[in-house]
Structure 1
Amino acid sequence: MSEIDEVLPKYLRISGHIRDRIERGELAPGAEVPSERELAAQWKVARPTAAKALNTLRQQGIVESRRGSGTYVVDQPGGPVMGERVPQYGSGYAEGAAVTVLEAAVVVGPAQIAEVLGLPRGSAVIMRKRLTGNGSGVTEIVTSWFAGDLAEVAPRLLRAERLSGGTLRYLESVTDRRVSYLRDRVSARLATADERRHLALARPAAVLVYQLTLHAADGAVIQLDEIVHPPDRWMFQQEHSSSS
């Protein structure tokens, strides 16, 4: 468990665990999720904490309660509709998008990156940093991280060129690694000098950082993407049914 997970309130850790099970397909649409009583016993928490975890998922439109029955994963048609989300996982871009590979190299992994990849501090990792944009200019900075031992079996990760179909499709073509589930999180912070330069931002400027990890079935991280977005740009749009 990461340091960030350890400091999360217990109800968020519970709701995040259930959401992960849904994303992995362990709980399919229409499946019943554990009850308040079951969650309280499993996680050794009070019933109100378990209830708060389920309510968090209800507010997100992920589950729904049926009177006298229980709580169930929403069916996809009636669940939340993601109108806009960033980015497509695996660093795949529309063919018409402008992509500039700034750097592709083996480097010493920053401590927080090594931790997410499940590697010892100071381990070698592969870094691919890219700018993407459209007709109106640069829209984001994308940095993908991989374990350094992929350098021999996936040498194209080290070339400063666009990979057609994205890095994940390339990895799947040269290794036996397959993505089983994804985990994402979002944070805001001040832009670094390098980010201000590439995104043409004033100093100081805030940016939105979207982190996406692609996991194998055993939980190992295959790829870690960090996408930095400039301010004054709406990134997420969701619609929920009024019942949620």
Structure 2
Amino acid sequence: MPEIEVVLPKYLQIAGYLRDQIVRGDLPPGAEVPSERDLAAMWRVARPTATKALQALRQQGFVEARRGAGTFVRDVSPAAPRARERYERAAAMGTMYSDVERVEFPFVGIVEAPAYVAAQLGLGEGERVVKRQRVISNEASGPTELSTSWFPAVTTEVAPKLLVAERLRGGTVPHLVEVLGLRGAFARDQVSARLAGDEERLALGLPNPSAVLVYWLVVFDSEGGPVEFDEAVYPQERWAFRQDYPITV
């Protein structure tokens, strides 16, 4: 029989929230993490619970304690947030990107759909699609992600802003939810690795050859029809996806 998913302990929920802030860049290397007392007050938990949350982050290598000063974010291996984390940030803060990130648009326009894009969007090969290409860079570490969003060209009849080379508040998915009136929309992720193409190496400043991590996200309406396909490409030295979950025996 199916079982109800076990909720993570409170201290891991707190640690996960702080870890996501670190990954997104909201808490950059060297930033001070809220104290045990502040975390206990913010999350309405006992002081020992906040202590365990900070201990978990130290064990995972994200923060370090400095005697008499507090707890600070370590300069860990560069990371890039996954799409779900960006959408959660947009819902909470109105933007998908942190203050240390810069977004540039190498290309925005209508093109013929490559075969793999047409397949993900349920279109015929060569049909017209919107291509929104973005390079996301971190002030400290340079390009972190080449992200391309694809939409059926007819979508621009109700969402013309997709053809404007500028950031949409909250991201393209919330914009489509608003203009298309989507209800019950859901998304599907898949991750793979491959060698970077010429365009990807140029955008991310990578040598030839270079392996990259590729993240596909397809957004569906409530009837299961695809409305958006995103392809995010990350340099190989960046891990992008991490999840904590309880193990039951």
- The Cα shift of 1:112 comes to 1.2
Evaluate the alpha carbon distance shift between residue 208 and residue 179 of structure 1 in structure 2; reply closer, same or farther with a 3 A threshold: farther
Q: 2:161 aligns with which of 147, 150, 156?
A: 156
SS in 2 for 1:93: coil
Where does residue 119 of structure 2 map in the other structure? 115
* Residue of 92, 96, 106 corresponding to 1:93: 96
The CA distance in 1 between the partners of 2:147 and 2:156, in whole Å, is 19
Deviation at 1:142, TM superposition (A): 0.4
Question: Greater relative contact order (Cα 8 A, min sep 6): structure 1 or 2?
Answer: 1
Q: 1:195 to 1:134 in 2, by over 3 A?
A: same
Please name the residue that 2:129 is paired with. 125
SS in 1 for 2:173: helix
TM-superposed CA distance for 1:179, in Å, is: 5.1
Q: Distance in 1 between matches of 2:179 and 2:236?
A: 37
2:201 maps to amino acid: R
User: C-alpha distance in 2, partners of 1:241/1:175?
Assistant: 37
**Equivalent pair of 1:100/1:162 in contact (CA under 8 Å):** no
Whole-angstrom distance in 2 between the partners of 1:240 and 1:174? 35
Identical-residue share of aligned pairs (%): 37
Match of 1:234 in 2: 239
Q: CA deviation at 1:178?
A: 3.7
Structure 1 ranges of 4+ moved more than 4 A: 80-85, 89-92
**TM-score, normalised by the number of residues in structure 2:** 0.64
- Is residue 194 from structure 1 mapped to residue 199 from structure 2 by the alignment? yes
Q: State the SS of the aligned residue for 2:96.
A: coil
Sort the Cα spacing of 1:93 and 1:131 in 2 relative to 1 into closer, same or farther, 3 A: same
Q: Residue 121 of structure 1 aligns to a residue in which SS?
A: coil
Number of equivalences: 175
CA distance in 2, matches of 1:128, 1:172: 17
Conserved in 2, the CA contact under 8 Å of 1:191 and 1:207? yes
Letter in 1 for 2:120: V
How large is the RMSD of aligned CA atoms in angstroms? 2.4
In structure 1, how many angstroms separate the alpha carbons of the residues matched to 2:236 and 2:201? 11
- TM-score, normalising length from structure 1? 0.65
Q: Is the CA contact (8 Å cut-off) linking 2:110 and 2:128 kept in structure 1?
A: yes
Q: How does 1:201-216 map to 2 (within 5 A)?
A: 201-216=206-221
Do 2:8 and 2:245's aligned partners in 1 also have CA atoms closer than 8 Å?
no
Gaps spanning 5+ residues in structure 2: where?
21-80
| Aligned mate of 1:106, from 96, 100, 110 | 110
